[in-house]
Amino acid sequence: MLRLLVLLPLLVQQPARIAEVGCHCDPGQPETMQARQCSLCREAERQAPETEIFFVPDASPRKPNRWLLLVRSHAYDGERGLEKMPAALRKRVWEAAIRKARELWGDAWGLAYNGDKVRTQCHFHIHIGKLLKGVELDRNLRVVNGPAEIPVPKDGSGLWIHPHGRRLHVHMNEQICETVLMR
């Protein structure tokens, strides 16, 4: 309880600060990509042009066990990236993220896509990590058979996903989703 009281003022300030992130990155003008929130855009530009999907370890020292999936294209940056993405690419993104997650964490993996209001990086990315024990919730839960059935948030919210037997549990309509993953 004490920890919650200490963190509460910080959490209240976060959405207002993060909502201002925006995406003003233009790969044709490198000076526009120097802000901290553009670091993943810079990482995407370092990849070969033919690269579609790639992985990088999370650069945050507070998240040593996390990886990120990124797409090279900037077409899905900013708000509602999953919604802008064609279904075929979205399916490849989820398949690649699940493969990497299984490689790292076996059946204890989780994926998280933060909502628009709390994202601190403008480039499209998905967090990959080990799912924390005891975070399973019944609210806003959808059970799907595989990556092609993972729903797309239509309201700028995020989602988090984890395995449940031969199916996937998709938790929808949340903003801060990565907190279900081990740091």
Instruction: Specify the CATH number for the domain of residue 83.
Output: 3.30.428
Number of domains observed in the structure of the chain: 1
Instruction: List, for residues 19-28, the tens digit of each pLDDT value.
Output: 445 678 888 8
Return mean pLDDT, the chain. 89
d(CA 136, CA 49): 39
Instruction: List, for residues 60-79, the tens digit of each pLDDT value.
Output: 999 999 999 999 999 999 99
Q: How many CB atoms lie within 10 A of CB 45?
A: 16
Q: Which domain holds residue 52?
A: 2-180
pLDDT score recorded for residue 87? 98
d(CA 46, CA 14): 30
Which pair of structure tokens corresponds to residue 25? 């990155």
pLDDT of residue 167 exceeding 90: yes
